[in-house]
Structure 1
Amino acid sequence: MWNAIFLSLYVLIALAIIISILLHGAKPSKSLAWLLAIFTIPVGGMFLYLLLGRNRRKNKLLKLKKKAFLNLPEPLMEHMTSMSGKYQKLMTLVYRNSHFPPTDNNELRLLKDGKTTFESIFEALESAQHRIHLQYYIFEEGELAQKLLQLFERKIMEGVQVKMIYDGIGSFTLSKAYLKKLAAIGVEVYPFLPFKFGRFFSSLNYRNHRKIIVVDGKVAFTGGINVSDKYLKGDVELGNWHDMHLRLEGNAASHLDFVFAMDWYLVCQKTIPVLPLDMEKAAIEKNKGKLVQIVSGGPDDDFPSLEQTYFTIINKAKNYLFITNPYVIPGQALMEALQTAALGGVDVRLMVSENGDNKIVSWSVRSYFEPLLKSGIKIYLFPDGFLHSKIMVSDDSIATIGTANLDDRSFEQNYEVNAIVYDAAFAQLLKEDFLKDAYSSRMLTYEDHIKRSWGERLKEGFGKLFSPLL
């Protein structure tokens, strides 16, 4: 009797999942893979699908219309079309996805590695007069966390409001004792989708990968660097951690404050006042700083905005395209875009870390090397420690820096944010930095790569099999 009940329940759940896949499957290849898993792996296939496979764009976590929340006016598009140039379509694309227009009145400072970055961050935090907004995917206890705690206590005594978001999984090691200390000094702190058994299936796979600090709505930071002492002291296994961050001052900082405000609403259903923006003035004001556009994306958005941004930059490249990223696991669209650019004569170069922080991810990344190299793309393996930067620069005219990797997790499952900089001098600065790192890296050739052992090929095949889940 119990066997019959269990079998009937199993069949009903399986049918419900199959119908869901057929109705809401994002990509045919993934849908077919999940159907095969459900049919060939009893119970386990359904468990994996519920945990990792659901199309979140059809089943939104955040019941919030971003455009209405931001209260951005439609007439801005008229000014957007007045911006001539190579990247006008990209500006429009990002605006329609993320609802942030490009703004011209911005001062930028490129911050390389942890020491420089945190010196600049603490300098800005010390100057706070009204409020500090901070959110991180990884917030680890240590010297940096203790220093932040002491700073927050001083600033709160001065009347500064401090709000903090940490990812419930990325910052899983953050202790209750530290969180109690934050609350005791007056920091408003909330986790993003913390681990809870009741919503295990609905939230575990969807993480907030953003790294944002905004001071008084005027100075902001974003990039790849988390709050972790390994950015200052290195890692026992990997050595030095290398990364890139960006300091923004101006209208783009206000846009990052809007991103924080939306995430704040998600974690605690509270609204916070954000500085009003003169959107029309920002759109037409020129020659008063760097032209910057913020692009945010997450599984609740209608389209994969970060993937579309990368795709457009790749397709717009005419002379060169340099990419630094630790997790290059491109889907079919990005793979074809990269290969098409290289085969069309664009100097496409890719830099990844020779040392990986996860073996399966490293195997997956390397599984794409052969088709990339075959199309003429140059691949550089950075040897010193672990390279974690997420940079794309092209044609001495555009660059993007932020939190998004080149993989399905960043495009489909994570909440991410990047800054796009439309500026020749800034692009040249990043190009020079890339070339400097490339000089000290090992260039991988197609001829050498195809000589790798069958054991390495099997590892890569195993990693590629799991690439949609990484």
Structure 2
Amino acid sequence: MWTSIFIGIYVIVALSIVLSILLYGAKPSKSLAWLLAIFALPVGGIFLYLLLGRNRRKYKLIQQEKDLFNNQPKPSLEHIDVFDGKYKKLITLNYENAQFPPTTGNELHILKDGKTTFETIFKALESAKQRIHIQYYIFEEGDLANRLLDLFEKKIAQGVVVRLIYDGIGSFSLSKKYLKKLIEIGVEVYSFLPFKFGRYFYSLNFRNHRKIIVVDGEVAFTGGINVSDKYLKGQVGLGKWHDMHLRLVGPAAAQLDQVFMTDWYLVSTKLLEAIEQPKSYAKQPVSNELVQIVAGGPDDDFPALEQTYFTIINTAKNYIYITNPYIIPGQALIRALQTAALSGVDVRLLVSEKADNKVVSWSVHSYFEMFLKAGIKIYLFPDGFLHSKIMVSDDTVSSIGTANLDDRSFEQNYEVNAIMYHKQIAKQLKEDFLNDCKISNELVYNDFVKRPWSKKLKEGVGRVLSPLF
């Protein structure tokens, strides 16, 4: 009897999932793979689909909170014809996806590697008068975390409100003892989608990969650097972690604060108010020095950051330089990069030679042959682990943020990038890129195709398994 009941329930659940896949499956290849898994792996296939396969763009998790902010009147787009209208489509696209217009009057400062970045961050935190907002994917205990704990206690004693969001999986190693200390000194702290059964269990695969610090709604930081001592001391087997961060002062910082407040509402159900911005900033507005914040995630109707990267690549006339540790692109970005290179655009990829995950590295390398054949130049950075997420093009537009060039960043993670229409910043990032290329190992197509079949097999395995990482 119980067997019949179990089979009946299983058939009903399986059929409902099959119907859902047929109605709302985002990609035919993935839909077919999940259908085969459900029929080939009884119970296990259903479990994996519920855990990893649901179309989050259809079954939104935070639509209610987004509506709270998006119900505000939309500002008009200004400076849309900047640089002779070359980036009109990109500005409009980012505005429609992320709801943030480009802003002028921002003071921008590129920060390279952990020592410089954290010295600058701590200086900003020390100056806080009203509130500190901090959000990280990885928040690891160590010297940095202890220093932050001491600083938080000092600032709270001065009347500053400190709010912290950490990702429930990325910061899984964060101990209860440390979290207890944070709460005891008065930090308001929440985990983003912690690992537990219930509602959040089905969202285990959807992580908040953003790195944001905002001080008094006016000074902000974002980029690829997490709170971890490996940025200062290095890591056994990998060496020093190299990364890029961005300090922003001005209206763009207020936009990053709104991204934080949106996530804060999800984790706490508390709606925060923005700090009223000063009427003028130290830097005078310049119409062709713009910053546009683009926040994207699996709850959005469209993959905002994938579309941003796609448009930057397609708009490039002279060059497109990309630094990223996880280049595992979908067909749209593959075709965009190949088309750009074949049409005469100088396309270069800078990737870390050392990898923090061997299977992911195999997957990244599986795309190199097709890229090299199209004329794309690939450089392997040998000194430590290169973790930056940079894109720069035509001495004019650039991106610094948290999004990798992979399906996880585009479809499963909550990410944020700063898109800068700013010649000085673009040239600075270009120069840094070319300097890193000089100390890197350039791959040559005729040599790369002769790699052992064992490496090709590993690359195939990595490519098949890439959706799980």
Per the TM superposition, whether the score is higher than 0.5 is yes
The TM-score range, normalised by the shorter chain, is over 0.9
- TM-superposed deviation, 1:13: 1.4
What is the CA–CA distance in structure 2 between the aligned matches of 1:230 and 1:291, rounded to whole Å? 33
How many Å apart are 1:157 and its aligned residue?
0.7
Q: For residue 21 of structure 1, give the secondary structure of its aligned residue in structure 2.
A: helix
Q: Is the 1:107–1:290 contact (alpha carbons within 8 Å) kept by the matching residues of 2?
A: no
- In structure 2, the residue matched to 1:354 is 353
Q: Which runs of 5+ in 2 are unaligned?
A: none
Deviations 1:117-149 (A, max 9, x none): 000000000011111000000000000000000
Q: 1:199 Cα deviation (Å)?
A: 3.4
**Judging changes above 3 Å, is the alpha-carbon distance between structure 1 residues 413 and 102 closer, same or farther for their aligned structure 2 residues?**
same
* Residue 148 in structure 1 maps to residue 166 in structure 2: no
Report the Cα distance in structure 1 between the residues aligned to 2:319 and 2:425, rounded to whole angstroms.
Answer: 15
Q: Distance in 1 between matches of 2:190 and 2:358?
A: 32
- What code does the residue aligned with 2:335 have? E
Larger deviation: 261-270 or 286-295?
286-295
Shift of the alpha carbon at 1:82?
5.5
Q: How far off is 1:160 after superposition?
A: 0.6
Q: Deviations over 1:376-425 (max 9, x none)?
A: 10000111111100000000000000000000100011000000010111
Please state whether the residue corresponding to 2:399 is helix, strand or coil.
Answer: strand
- The amino acid that maps onto 1:127 is S
What is the rounded CA distance, in whole Å, between the counterparts of 1:464 and 1:352 in structure 2?
17
TM-score by length of 2: 0.96
3-state SS of paired residue (2:322): strand
The reply on whether 1:310 has 2:300 as its aligned counterpart is: no
Q: Is the 8 A contact 2:341 2:375 kept in 1?
A: yes
Cα deviation per residue 1:272-291 (whole Å; 9 max; x = unaligned)? 11134699x99xx9517831
Query: Secondary structure of the equivalent of 2:63?
Result: coil
Runs of 5+ consecutive residues of structure 1 not aligned to the other structure: none
2:231 maps to amino acid: Y
> What corresponds to 1:417 in structure 2?
416
What is the rounded CA distance, in whole Å, between the counterparts of 2:287 and 2:98 in structure 1? 23
Judge conservation of contact 1:80–1:91 (CA < 8 Å) in 2.
Answer: no
Q: Which amino acid aligns with 1:376?
A: G
Paired amino acid for 1:345: G
Cα deviation, residue 45, structure 1: 1.7
In structure 1, the residue matched to 2:244 is 244
User: Following TM superposition, by how much is the alpha carbon of 1:16 offset from its aligned partner in structure 2, in angstroms?
Assistant: 1.0
Amino acid at match of 1:240: K
Identify the residue that residue 446 of structure 1 maps to in structure 2.
445
Mark the CA change 1:113 to 1:456 in structure 2 (over 3 Å): closer, same or farther.
same
Question: In structure 2, what is the Cα distance between the partners aligned to 1:75 and 1:228?
Answer: 38
- Identical pairs, percent: 70
Please state how far the C-alpha of 1:447 moved relative to its aligned partner.
0.9
Q: Secondary structure at the match of 1:195?
A: coil
Question: Any conservation in 2 of the 1:137–1:209 contact (CA below 8 Å)?
Answer: yes
- Secondary structure of 2:55's counterpart equals coil
Alignment of 1:206-245 (within 5 A): 206-245=206-245
Between stretches 34-43 and 302-311, larger displacement belongs to 34-43
- Residue 128 (structure 1) aligned with residue 91 (structure 2): no
Counterpart mapping for 1:3-402 below 5 A: 3-64=3-64, 66=66, 68-70=68-70, 72-74=72-74, 76-77=76-77, 79=78, 81=80, 83=82, 84-199=84-199, 201-276=201-276, 286-287=285-286, 290-402=289-401
1:460 aligns with 2:459: yes
How many angstroms does 1:163 deviate by? 0.5
Distance 1:82 1:425, change over 3 A: closer
After TM superposition, give the deviation of residue 72 of structure 1 in Å: 4.3
Range with greater deviation from structure 2 (209-218 or 444-453): 444-453
The CA RMSD over aligned residues, in Å, is 1.8
User: C-alpha distance in 2, partners of 1:348/1:465?
Assistant: 26
Contact 1:105 1:289 in 2 (8 A): no
Deviation at 1:70, TM superposition (A): 4.8
> 1:60 Cα shift?
0.6
Task: Give the drift of 1:4.
Answer: 2.4
- The 3-state SS of whatever aligns with 1:104 is coil
Distance change >3 Å, CA 80–CA 435, structure 1 → 2: closer
Cα distance in 2 for partners of 1:76, 1:65 equals 23
Alpha-carbon separation, structure 1, partners of 2:11 and 2:239: 50
- Asked whether the equivalents of residues 241 and 386 of structure 1 are also in contact (C-alpha less than 8 Å), the reply is yes
SS, match of residue 165 in structure 1: strand
Structure 1 residue 9, shift from structure 2 partner: 2.0
- Alpha-carbon distance in 2 for matches of 1:109, 1:21: 46
Deviations, residues 256-296 of structure 1 (Å, cap 9, x unaligned): 000000000010100111134699x99xx951783100000
For residues 217 and 142 of structure 2, what CA distance do their matches in structure 1 show? 27
Mapped partners of 2:269, 2:18: distance in 1: 33
1:329/1:408 contact within 8 Å kept: yes
TM-score by length of structure 1 reads 0.96
Alpha-carbon shift at residue 41 of structure 1 (Å):
2.1
